[in-house]
Amino acid sequence: MILLALALIILIPILIVGGTIVLILKAVGKRRPESAETGESVRRFFQYTFLLGAYLLVATGIGGLVAEFLPGRGSVIIRDDTTLALTFSFLLVGVPVLYGLAKWTQRQIEQPSERESLGWALFLSSASIISLLVATILGFQGLSTAFADGSFRVDLLAIAMVWGAGWFAIWRISVRCGDPGKMQLERAAGSAIGLAGMATALWFIPSIALQSIYDASFGLRVADDLGVGLWYGLVGLVIGGTTWWWYWLSHTAGSEATPVWRGYVMLVGVLSGLITAIIASSTVLYSVLQWFFGDPKNSEASRHFEILPWTLPAVGVGIGVWAYHRAALSAAVGTTRSETTRTYEYVVAVAGLIAVAGGITTLLVALFRSLTSTVAGGGSANVLVAAITLLVVGSPLWWVFWSRIQRHASTDPEHELSSGVRRIFLSILFGVGGFVALISLIVIVFNVIEGMFIGLVDTAIRESTVPLALVMTMGLLAWYHWKVFVSDRTARSGWVDPIRVRDITLLGGDADLREQIATNLGVQVRSWRRLDAPATGAIDATTVIEDIQALKTEKVLVIVGDGTLEIVPFEDG
Amino acid sequence: MGTSQPSNRIPAAIGVGIIVVIVLASILIAGRQIPTLDPSTPEGVAQSFVLARFDGDETAALDLMTDELAEQCRQGRGWWPRNGGRATIVETATTEHRAVVTLAISKVYGESPFVLSESTSRLTLVMVPSDTGWLISEEPSSWYWCKEGASR
């Protein structure tokens, strides 16, 4: 069973990585069909896919073997010969393949171009993250069952240790031979895994404690599993916390705020915390309003509110995760309004807007339901309560951030209305709103036509309340954001669009210089390594950026030589 | 340089609209009077039957059935949601000797407003005329109350 789970864990990332590489190869092939790079990319694709496969086979094989023959596993009544044969097969095939490929790769990564290649970085990242996931999941299972109910699963712990050792080896290699820029995604993924484990434990521990107190207070307890639950929570906290500390606090938090770094903080930190807080606080508020104004799910208050011990800690954890990452973002990007701060504000506004849109839709459904004739029961009160809950939670969040954004649009329109982030968000909101409205309209038309055919038009209309509410809400949402989009475009059309640099090619120079130019100017920088005159002296990035900004041209070539710097404006000819 | 953003007036109007709809929906839901249908009609029997089951009044529900069906259902061990349901009449077909009333029974589920969902099922009641009015003569569709062996 464990081997099956491992096989699935292994197979899925291989398919994802393989698919990604194929897509990249296609893109590279389209861009430079005659280039020798394409051949190198194909070689790397096969080399690193096989290397990853061989690594996973060997790690799985060693884990299986250790677990099978480890002393203290308990008396084995029936040995699973099939599993054992599979384990030996993995090792007999995997070890020589891994050895051969590793030696070949070891020679190749002596070349800087190989160390900086995407294939090598993808191999290191995939091997590291898969190993980390297997080690932490099995480690959690092994340790939690050992502490919680005394059933010491030595086989799980042994496999976890094997994968942990594999992860450590990959980590060491990535530190010594990996491209730090390309390994950022792996650091972000590790941080996300650690954060997920730690946050789950931080929610689970107080929840199970509160549940125990709640049950005891209201006489609901039938069996006390507090001790068992706390052990699960503590083991999860130690494993998740250690992973988060290693990946995030030790190796990512203090590093430069690159696009990957900011993407992680924004999406994994801010957005996940915010969504958790919104959903949990909505659930708390809904159960309170339902008790007083709706149809409670149970006439006994203790039964109705039994969800609170689990939702209240989720509110705290969500707000904590959000606040921490918000602070980290502020510390990294400063107080100056940049695309990063804009992205943050638009993301939060959209999160609030989703709740508001859900609230309006639910409110309209409640209204439509109250207008239709029934012969028994109500049931609309809970729908109305749900709508009010969503509006109460979402409206302030949306309003605070959207009005702040619109203030900037009024006071500093040149920067705000030209922002790519603003254009993308408005386009997405208009597009998604319009799309959902269109689909809902199709559903309504279908219901009505079908109702006409079978002679039940009244029923068809009654069953179209949800799509009708969606058409109205999403249509309104799309219309409003379209108005803002058009207003922005009209304002922008009155300006003389300053010529600014959009395309930078860097010949020579290091990854740090490339990153600083790209971050400060907000453009993609193509980088080429010089073979004739490698740069040795440090280049002042600030000077380069200022010189580029002074140019009134769209395309710039930056040539970094041995202590020399040349900035050449050019255009297509 | 300032621009005239349309944002402030429109959200304010939407906000006012939302408040109006909330007030309207609250008044309609709170003041809602479900009409009592004539119990001598098939629709009236259907209403009485569903109300009895919503209230958990099995005796009242069995009284609306023919003797044969009521006896069968007394032996059965099914269940029926007692609250939160909502019944609407979808269709009624009446002849001299038989009436078929189809109802839609809806129930709202969910602990969180984000995952609120509604399930709707059809309930078909077949009735025959009797001295006292219409009586349910066949086991209701989508109904496991009268099934032998079903757990209540």
- Whether residue B113 and residue A377 make contact (CB cut-off 8 A), yes or no, is no
Contacts of A430 in chain B (CB under 8 A): none
Largest CA distance in chain A: 88
B96 falls within a domain: yes
Interface contact B11, partner A, CB < 8 A = yes
* Residue type for position A3: L
User: How far apart are the CA of A402 and the nearest CA of chain B, in angstroms?
Assistant: 9
Decide: A555 and A524 in contact? Cβ < 8 Å. no
- For B123: left if phi > 0, alpha if psi spans -120 to 50, otherwise beta; the answer is beta
Which of A367, A375, A403 best tests the B interface by mutation, with the highest count of B CBs <10 A?
A375
Q: What does the pLDDT profile of chain A (573 residues) look like in tens digits?
A: 444 444 445 545 554 544 554 455 445 445 544 455 667 788 888 899 999 999 999 999 998 888 777 765 555 555 667 878 888 888 888 899 999 999 999 998 888 888 888 899 999 999 999 999 999 999 999 898 888 777 777 888 889 999 999 999 999 999 998 888 889 999 999 999 999 999 999 999 999 999 888 888 887 766 667 778 888 999 999 999 999 999 999 999 988 888 889 889 988 999 899 999 999 999 999 999 999 988 887 788 888 898 999 999 999 999 999 999 999 988 887 777 777 788 888 989 999 999 999 999 999 988 888 887 787 776 688 889 999 999 999 999 999 999 989 888 888 888 888 888 899 999 999 899 999 999 999 999 998 898 888 777 777 777 788 899 999 999 999 999 998 988 888 887 776 555 567 788 888 877 778 877 877 777 778 888 777 766 556 677 778 888 887 777 788 888 887 777 888 888 876
Complex ipTM? 0.78
- For B30: left if phi > 0, alpha if psi spans -120 to 50, otherwise beta; the answer is alpha
B67 falls within a domain: yes
B13 falls within a domain: no
Closest-CA residue to A159 (of A234, A239, A59): A59
A555-560 and A503-507 beta bridge pairing: parallel
Give pLDDT, residue B62.
Answer: 85
Interface contact B32, partner A, CB < 8 A = yes
Banded model confidence at residue B144, pLDDT cuts 50, 70, 90: low
* Residue type for position A66: V
Give pLDDT, residue A52.
Answer: 94
CATH label of the domain that carries residue B91 = 3.10.450.50
For residues B146 and B141, give the distance between their C-alpha atoms in angstroms, rounded to a whole number: 11
User: How far apart are the CA of B150 and the nearest CA of chain A, in angstroms?
Assistant: 24
Q: Which of A362, A410, A480 sits opposite B113 (nearest CB)?
A: A362
- Whether residue B50 and residue A476 make contact (CB cut-off 8 A), yes or no, is no
- Whether residue A377 and residue B112 make contact (CB cut-off 8 A), yes or no, is no
For residues A352 and A343, give the distance between their C-alpha atoms in angstroms, rounded to a whole number: 14
Name the residue in chain A with its Cα closest to that of B120. Answer: A463
Name the residue in chain A with its Cα closest to that of B43. Answer: A375
Decide: A210 and A233 in contact? Cβ < 8 Å. no
Give pLDDT, residue A131.
Answer: 96
Q: Which of A371, A480, A487 sits opposite B28 (nearest CB)?
A: A371
B32 falls within a domain: no
User: How far apart are the CA of B86 and the nearest CA of chain A, in angstroms?
Assistant: 4
Q: Using alpha carbons only, give the angle B44, B46, B52 rounded to the nearest 5 degrees.
A: 100
Decide: A174 and A124 in contact? Cβ < 8 Å. yes
Give pLDDT, residue A15.
Answer: 47
Q: What is the pTM of this model?
A: 0.75
User: How far apart are the CA of A416 and the nearest CA of chain B, in angstroms?
Assistant: 11
Interface contact B117, partner A, CB < 8 A = no
Please list, in sequence order, all residues whose beta carbon lies within 8 angstroms of the beta carbon of residue A567, skipping any fewer than 6 positions away.
Answer: A544, A547, A548, A551, A556, A557, A558, A559
B59 falls within a domain: yes
Interface contact B48, partner A, CB < 8 A = no
Number of domains, chain B:
1
- Whether residue B116 and residue A287 make contact (CB cut-off 8 A), yes or no, is no
Which of B105, B116, B117, B123 best tests the A interface by mutation, with the highest count of A CBs <10 A?
B116
User: How far apart are the CA of A397 and the nearest CA of chain B, in angstroms?
Assistant: 14
Contacts of A376 in chain B (CB under 8 A): 34, 47, 50-51, 54, 85-87
Number of Cα atoms under 13 Å in the Cβ half of residue A22: 6
Contacts of A461 in chain B (CB under 8 A): none
Q: Look at the alpha carbons of A264, A265, A267, A273 in this order and tell me if their dihedral is positive or negative.
A: positive
Q: Which of B15, B25, B120 sits opposite A367 (nearest CB)?
A: B25
B107 phi/psi in degrees, rounded to 5 = -140, 135
Contacts of A409 in chain B (CB under 8 A): 3, 5
For residues A253 and A329, give the distance between their C-alpha atoms in angstroms, rounded to a whole number: 10
Please list, in sequence order, all residues whose beta carbon lies within 8 angstroms of the beta carbon of residue A156, skipping any fewer than 6 positions away.
Answer: A2, A67, A138, A139, A141, A142, A145
- Whether residue A370 and residue B25 make contact (CB cut-off 8 A), yes or no, is yes
Banded model confidence at residue B89, pLDDT cuts 50, 70, 90: confident
Strand partners, B118: B108
B78 falls within a domain: yes
Which segments of B55-145 does DSSP mark as H helices, in order? 58-63, 67-75
Name the residue in chain B with its Cα closest to that of A296. Answer: B84
User: How far apart are the CA of A432 and the nearest CA of chain B, in angstroms?
Assistant: 19
Q: How far is CA B41 from CA A148, A535, B8, B50, in A?
A: 63, 96, 55, 14
- Whether residue A363 and residue B21 make contact (CB cut-off 8 A), yes or no, is yes
Give pLDDT, residue A414.
Answer: 81
User: How far apart are the CA of A491 and the nearest CA of chain B, in angstroms?
Assistant: 7
DSSP state of B114: G
User: How far apart are the CA of B89 and the nearest CA of chain A, in angstroms?
Assistant: 7
Q: Within a 10 A sphere around the Cβ of B38, how many other Cβ atoms?
A: 12
For residues A421 and A439, give the distance between their C-alpha atoms in angstroms, rounded to a whole number: 27
- Whether residue A459 and residue B54 make contact (CB cut-off 8 A), yes or no, is no
A11 phi/psi in degrees, rounded to 5 = -65, -45
Banded model confidence at residue B2, pLDDT cuts 50, 70, 90: very low
Domain housing B85: 42-146
For residue A416, the surrounding DSSP H or E stretch is helix A413-418
- Whether residue B47 and residue A375 make contact (CB cut-off 8 A), yes or no, is yes
- B123 in helix, strand or coil? strand
DSSP state of B65: B
For residues A207 and A225, give the distance between their C-alpha atoms in angstroms, rounded to a whole number: 12
Sheet holding B117-130: strands in order across?
B85-94, B99-109, B117-130, B133-136
Decide: B89 and B105 in contact? Cβ < 8 Å. no
Query: Tens of pLDDT along B64-86?
Result: 988 888 887 777 655 555 555 78
For residues A411 and A392, give the distance between their C-alpha atoms in angstroms, rounded to a whole number: 29
For residue A450, the surrounding DSSP H or E stretch is helix A420-454
Tokens 């005329």 belong to: B129
B36 falls within a domain: no
B33 falls within a domain: no
Strand partners, A109: none
- Whether residue A413 and residue B114 make contact (CB cut-off 8 A), yes or no, is no
For residues A116 and A322, give the distance between their C-alpha atoms in angstroms, rounded to a whole number: 34
Q: Which of B26, B47, B108 sits opposite A382 (nearest CB)?
A: B108
Question: Which 3-state string (H, E, C) describes A302-330?
Answer: HHHCCCHHHHHHHHHHHHHHHHHHHHHHH
Decide: A416 and A426 in contact? Cβ < 8 Å. no
- Whether residue A384 and residue B85 make contact (CB cut-off 8 A), yes or no, is no
A34 phi/psi in degrees, rounded to 5 = -95, 0
Interface contact B89, partner A, CB < 8 A = yes
Contacts of B37 in chain A (CB under 8 A): 375
DSSP string, A18-62: HHHHHHHHHHHHHH-TT-HHHHHHHHHHHHHHHHHHHHHHHHHHH
For residues A326 and A324, give the distance between their C-alpha atoms in angstroms, rounded to a whole number: 5
Query: Tens of pLDDT along B102-137?
Result: 888 888 777 788 877 777 888 889 999 988 889 998
Tokens 């640099």 belong to: A501
- Whether residue A375 and residue B43 make contact (CB cut-off 8 A), yes or no, is yes
DSSP string, A353-375: HHHHHHHHHHHHHHHHHHHS--S
* Residue type for position A29: G
- Whether residue A390 and residue B114 make contact (CB cut-off 8 A), yes or no, is yes
- Whether residue B14 and residue A370 make contact (CB cut-off 8 A), yes or no, is no
User: How far apart are the CA of B64 and the nearest CA of chain A, in angstroms?
Assistant: 16
User: How far apart are the CA of B78 and the nearest CA of chain A, in angstroms?
Assistant: 21
Tokens 């690193």 belong to: A48
